[in-house]
Chain A
Amino acid sequence: MESFGWATLYPEILLLIAACVILLVDLRVTDRNRTLTYALSLLAIGAASLIAGMQAASGVTSYGFSNMVASDPMGNWLKCFAGVAMMVTLVYGRPYAADREMTRGGELFTLGMFALLGMFVMISGNNFLVIYLGLELLTLSSYALVALRRDNGIATEAAMKYFVLGAMASGFLLYGMSMLYGATGSLDIGEVIKAVSTGNIRHQVLVFGLVFIVAGLAFKLGVAPFHMWVPDVYQGAPTAVTLIIGGASKLAAFAMVMRLLVEGLLPLAFDWQQMLAVMAVVSLVVGNFAAIAQSNFKRLLAYSTISQMGFVLLGLMSGVVNGNAAAAFNAYSSAMFYVVTYVLTTLAAFGVILMLAKEGYESEEISDLAGLGRRSPLAAVVLSVCMFSMAGLPPLVGFYAKLAVLQALITTGLPLYIGMAVFAVVLSLIGAFYYIRVVKVMYFDAPTQPTPALAPVDVRLVLAVNGALVLGLGILPSGLMKLCADAILNSLGS
Chain B
Amino acid sequence: MGWLSLAIWTPIAFGVICLLLGREGQQNLVRWFALVGSLVALAVTVPVVSGFRAGTAAMQFVERYNWVDRFHIHYHLGVDGLSMWFVPLTAFITVIVVISAWEVITDRVHQYMGAFLILSGLMVGVFSSLDGILFYTFFEATLIPMYLIIGIWGGPNKIYAAFKFFLYTLLGSLLTLVALIYLYIASNGSFDIATWHQLKLGGTAQTLIFFAFLAAFAVKVPMWPVHTWLPDVHVEAPTGGSAVLAAIMLKLGAYGFLRFSLPIAPDAAREWAWLMITFSIVAVVYVGLVAMVQKDMKKLVAYSSVAHMGFVTLGFFIFNDLGMAGGIVQMIAHGFVSAAMFLSIGVLYDRVHSRDIAAYGGVVNKMPRFAAFALLFAMANCGLPGTAGFVGEWMVILAAVKFNFWIGLLSATALIFGAAYTLWMYKRVYLGPVGNHHVEELTDINGREFLIMALLAVATLYMGLYPKPFTDVMDASVANLLQHVAQSKLR
Contacts and interface: CB of A to CB of B under 8 A. Distances in A.
B182 A478 contact: no
Nearest to A394: B137
Interface string A413-432: 10000100110011011001
B181 interface: yes
Interface stretch (A69-77, A289-297, A399-407): A399-407
A433 B167 CA distance: 7
A311 interface: no
Interface stretch (B172-180, B243-251, B327-335, B454-462): B172-180
A482 interface: yes
Given A443-B148, A444-B151, A403 B133 contact: yes
Interface stretch (B139-147, B274-282, B418-426): B139-147
Given A436-B147, A444-B152, A444-B158, A394 B22 contact: no
B71 interface: yes
Interface stretch (B33-41, B62-70, B297-305, B358-366): B62-70
Contact of A429 (B69, B148, B167): B167
Contact of B178 (A393, A404, A425, A436): A425
Contacts of B182: 410, 418
A429 B138 CA distance: 18
Contacts of B184: 407
A482 B174 contact: no
Contact of A432 (B22, B141, B166): B166
Given A400-B68, A440-B159, A429 B170 contact: yes
Interface residues of B, number: 35
A115 B359 CA distance: 68
B291 interface: no
Given A407-B181, A440-B151, A443-B151, A477 B68 contact: yes
Interface residues of A, number: 35
A489 to B, nearest CB: 11
Contacts of A436: 147, 163, 166
A394 B136 contact: yes
Nearest to B158: A444
Contacts of A444: 151-152, 158-159, 162
B177 A478 contact: no
A377 interface: yes
B70 A377 contact: no
A388 interface: yes
B181 A478 contact: no
A425 B151 contact: no
A105 interface: no
A332 to B, nearest CB: 13
Contact of A422 (B22, B137, B138, B178): B178
B185 interface: yes
B151 A393 contact: no
Nearest to B168: A429
Interface in B41-95: 66-71
A434 B163 CA distance: 10
Contacts of B181: 403, 406-407, 410, 421
A102 B70 CA distance: 45
Contacts of A439: 147-148
A372 interface: no
A262 interface: no
Interface string A466-483: 000000000011100110
B70 A481 contact: yes
Contact of B185 (A393, A411, A443, A476): A411
A432 B147 CA distance: 13
Contacts of A386: none
A395 interface: yes
Given A422-B178, A436-B166, A440-B151, A393 B144 contact: yes
Interface string A442-473: 01100000000000000000000000000000
A180 interface: no
B171 interface: yes
B167 A478 contact: no
Nearest to B154: A444
Residue of A403, A426, A439 with highest tally of chain B CB at under 10 A? A403
A485 interface: yes
15 contacts: A393-B140, A393-B144, A394-B138, A395-B137, A403-B177, A406-B177, A407-B71, A433-B167, A436-B166, A437-B163, A444-B159, A476-B67, A478-B66, A481-B69, A482-B70
